[in-house]
């Protein structure tokens, strides 16, 4: 088991006081072990599947908090083997290492520093799984993590896992968990799965509906939905690991969400719990779609505060309208949705992608997986939401035109993003043209329409009216 005990004994709080935390952490771990049914001497096994920025940070936080209790818990992370670190990234990684004395000392002590010197000189090729063992995520080089136990064989990683953390993009979740299901055929106990994935798929037959990563996992593995949870919130992975204050919600069945919220909670990372799993999960994917447009607007207007605020007003009004289609109690989602949207627009990879696309530094031909950033989930979300909301069977009565229209007709920003990113019938400039269209209604009108009409479509989430 690779781990570190550095900094584990004490927690430093915002007021500067230091408190011993080992006893508290062990008590939380023992409580979760009892609930899972672990016998004395049998360590609880937590496995992260997927090593993107958020998946790596989440596993590293658990390692930092509980890794010293090796007889009670084992934490490991799986990532695919073979991905190499290019020369430019290796050079940057070397600079990061030498700028952090604690990291430099750690690598020297582990006899691992020389390989980074050789990689910088071009005398050695590093691989993503290799550097992850030393605490470096390829999608987040500037934020060194703690050393971790890394496994590249999926069967070895998951076959006996008690808790699985899904850190995969939504576009890869189904495929990987279908493979995982092969290794769980002989299991007696059912694992608990926490999905971090933000993204959705559209399923149009037999009727239009949204498929979320937790549903993909349920279909692929047969693990009951009560054992599958979603964790998300308004936060940025690197800032969480640097112990900037953040919060998140873990959503799912009460049996698991409450004890897991307690287990995951730290002084700088507050975890709340909520029973509305699917709707929160869908909202986590929705804001990524609109974040791409925010990045475009920022780039095309030279960071104009006025233009960005106009875009924010229109995109949030569309998101609020969509929540009225998806939820019987949409007001409960407004706070989390707006908070998550705000932080994603400020510093998320989707807004970054939109900005680089508008500036010409990236092109659509590069695909939705970008070196150094990982999967841009907003692209698939734009496609899925557009396809779903274009279905005539979901038509709603337009209050002004007094005729039925597909819901997407009330979402001009979403339509424009689809034309830019998916249909490729327009350039990034189209997002500004949409904002400046003289026929564009006041965003408040869309919200008022949603609040005064029965737009709820439970079938979109596979529920009965």
Residues serving a catalytic function are: 287
Burial of 253 (0-12, 13-18, 19+ CB in 10 A): middle
| Rounded CA separation 202/408 (Å) | 14
Residue 304, C-beta contacts closer than 8 angstroms, at least 6 positions apart: 297, 298
Greatest distance between any 2 Cα atoms in the chain: 73
Q: 346-371 as b/e, with b when 16 or more CB fall inside 10 Å?
A: eebbbbbbbbbbbeeebeeeeebebe
Using DSSP, state whether 127 is helix, strand or coil.
Answer: strand
CA distances to 93, 139, 354, 459 from 358, rounded to whole Å, are 28, 22, 6, 36
Nearest 5°: the CA angle 216, 408, 387 is 35
Pick the closest to residue 220 from 172, 151, 252, 259 (CA basis).
172
With tokens 């690598």, the residue in question is 107
Beta pairing class for 18-20 and 10-12: antiparallel
Cis previous bond, 161, omega within 30: no
Question: For 275, what's the count of Cα atoms within 13 Å in the CB-facing half-sphere?
Answer: 4
Task: Spell out the alpha helix ranges (H) of 265-411.
Answer: 277-300, 305-326, 331-347, 349-359, 377-389
Q: What does the chain come to in residues? A: 465
Beta pairing class for 163-166 and 192-195: parallel
Q: Name the helix (H) or strand (E) containing 22.
A: helix 22-36
Question: For 131, what's the count of Cα atoms within 13 Å in the CB-facing half-sphere?
Answer: 31
| Rounded CA separation 297/405 (Å) | 28
Does residue 440 contact residue 312 with C-beta atoms inside 8 Å? no
Residue 206, C-beta contacts closer than 8 angstroms, at least 6 positions apart: none
């Amino acid at each position: 088991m690779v781990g570190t005990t550095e900094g584990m004994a004490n927690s430093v709080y915002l007021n500067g006081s230091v408190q011993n935390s080992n006893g508290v952490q062990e008590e939380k771990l023992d409580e979760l072990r009892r609930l899972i049914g672990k016998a004395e001497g049998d360590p609880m096994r937590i496995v992260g599947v997927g090593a993107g920025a958020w998946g790596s940070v989440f596993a590293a936080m658990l390692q930092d908090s509980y890794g010293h209790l090796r007889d009670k818990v084992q934490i490991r992370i799986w990532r695919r083997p073979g991905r190499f670190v290019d020369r430019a990234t290796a050079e940057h990684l070397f600079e990061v290492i030498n700028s952090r004395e604690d990291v430099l000392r750690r690598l020297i002590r582990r006899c691992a520093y020389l390989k980074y010197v050789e990689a910088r000189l071009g005398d050695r090729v590093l691989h993503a799984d290799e550097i992850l063992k030393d605490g470096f995520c390829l999608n987040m080089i500037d934020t060194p993590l703690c050393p971790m136990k890394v496994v590249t064989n999926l069967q070895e990683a998951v076959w006996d896992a008690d808790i699985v953390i899904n850190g995969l993009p939504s576009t890869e979740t189904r495929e990987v968990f279908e493979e995982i299901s092969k290794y769980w055929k002989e299991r007696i106990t059912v694992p608990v799965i926490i999905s971090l994935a933000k993204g959705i798929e559209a399923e149009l037959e037999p009727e239009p509906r949204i498929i979320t990563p937790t549903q993909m996992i349920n279909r692929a593995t047969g693990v009951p939905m009560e054992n599958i949870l979603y964790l998300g919130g308004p936060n940025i992975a690197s800032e969480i690991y640097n112990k900037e204050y953040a919060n998140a919600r873990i959503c799912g069945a009460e049996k698991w969400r409450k004890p897991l919220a307690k287990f995951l909670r730290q002084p700088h990372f507050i975890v709340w719990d909520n029973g509305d799993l699917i709707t929160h999960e869908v909202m986590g994917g929705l804001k990524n779609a609109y974040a791409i447009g925010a990045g475009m607007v920022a780039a095309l207007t030279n960071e104009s505060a006025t233009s960005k605020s106009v875009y924010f007003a229109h995109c949030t009004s569309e998101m609020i309208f969509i929540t009225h289609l998806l939820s019987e109690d949409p007001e409960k989602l407004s706070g989390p949705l707006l908070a998550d949207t705000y932080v994603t627009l400020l510093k998320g990879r989707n807004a970054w992608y939109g900005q680089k696309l508008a500036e010409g530094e990236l092109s659509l031909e590069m695909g939705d997986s970008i070196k150094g950033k990982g999967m841009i989930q907003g692209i698939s979300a734009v496609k899925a939401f557009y396809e779903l909301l274009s279905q005539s069977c979901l038509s709603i009565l337009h209050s002004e035109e007094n005729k039925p229209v597909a819901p997407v007709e009330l979402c001009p920003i979403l339509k424009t993003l689809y034309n830019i990113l998916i249909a490729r019938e327009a350039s990034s400039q189209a997002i500004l043209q949409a904002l400046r269209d003289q026929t564009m209604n006041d965003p408040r009108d869309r919200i008022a329409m949603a609040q005064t009409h029965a737009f709820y479509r439970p079938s979109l989430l596979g529920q009965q009216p």
